Amino acid sequence: MSEKGPLDGLLVADFSRILAGPYATMLLADLGAQVIKVEGPAGDDTRTWMPPVRDGVSTYYLGINRNKRSIALDLKNETDLADARSLAHRADVMIENFRPGGLARFGLDYDSVSAANKKIVYASISGFGTGAGAGLPGYDLMVQAISGLMSLTGDPDGSPFRAGISVFDVMAGLHANIGILAALHARAGTGRGQHVEVNLLSSALSGLVNHSSGYVAGGTIPFRMGNAHPSLFPYEPLPTADGELIVIAGNDGQFRKLCQVLDLPQLPDDPRFGRNQDRTANREELRPILLERLATRTKDEWFRDLIAAGVPCAPINTIDGGVTFAEELGLDPVVTTGGVPGIRNPITFSDSRARYELPPPTLDEHGEEIRKWLRS
């Protein structure tokens, strides 16, 4: 196996802040890219987003900034601005999430940078694109609300809820990386870079998949169903003798296996429940039948027997339980980089490996050496 990551030799100028951009660049850095994190004099906002903390540092910041080198540059200072431009002109990739047009006055917008660096793949992440939404601040919670996600999250008779993570920041970061890698592939043939643009709202509408498709293709506006699924049943937590268990019948064969384990062999042949669309239409008749049986044993007992029979199901863990289960499966979810624990890069390769060499940098930790290099 090669000791070098698949992106070894790639120089990334990271002018992004908060979550979407830094998450994207950390994944690139894990895979071998040299990422230089450019911060303002006050540092990335997430340095102050606490608790929780580790050794006085925000774990939010720690979770998305390993394998990077930090330089603090004040773009209003001519010397610092010259260093920023020098970095952009040398880089293979530049990524930023300023408000659209915000870097133009510094000569760090795509047109200015690409005029001096024809090979640059320049990725911009915004909240709502560069048109009529350019002036809107790009916070994930705003996008969760505006996109419709919050209308789907929560109890049917309760208030809308946001997702437990900034899901569209993460999604936009991943979409940005797909765009960057596609543009690098195109550059290999043309010798030219290009501008890659991603916005959170477009990522959200794409990521709403069956719900957004249900509206644009089927004219259906989905609504909150709690933990229920609009197109499958069962596909939700169901109570057992000592707590809830996620139970899934993703197809008719899985439902038949579920019924065998529950000692309800007649149900799959009942015309109300035989096909998925029948179970979905008659879920209020089917649910109490399943609950009566599930109440006779504990969730761990059902989990063991249902999984053994090939029925998808899962306990509802807290984060510690999720990490522990991944460890039990041999996925080695936790890696330590310079003494700082973090979650392993989720991608593995047959002939390359992710690297975990540099802990998340302190502000301007590598500034002196980077400035010397940029001015050489």
Query: Catalytic residue positions?
Result: 169
Q: Judge if the upstream peptide bond of residue 333 is cis by omega within 30 degrees of 0.
A: no
CB 32 within 8 A of CB 10: yes
Q: How far apart are CA 18 and CA 138, in angstroms?
A: 11
Name which of 353, 331, 342 is nearest 30 in CA terms.
353
- DSSP-assigned letters across all residues of 33-101: -EEEEEE-TT--GGGG--SSEETTEEHHHHTT-TTEEEEE--TTSHHHHHHHHHHHHH-SEEEE-SSTT
Name which of 209, 250, 240 is nearest 316 in CA terms.
240
Reduced to 3 states (helix: H, G, I; strand: E, B; else coil), residue 141 is helix
**What residues form DSSP beta bridges with 353?**
none
**What does the buried/exposed string (b/e) look like for 86-112 if buried means 16 or more CB atoms within 10 Å of the residue's CB?**
bbbbebbbbbbbbebeebeebbbbbeb
CB 310 within 8 A of CB 248: no
Q: How far apart are CA 299 and CA 240, in angstroms?
A: 6
**What residues form DSSP beta bridges with 94?**
13, 122
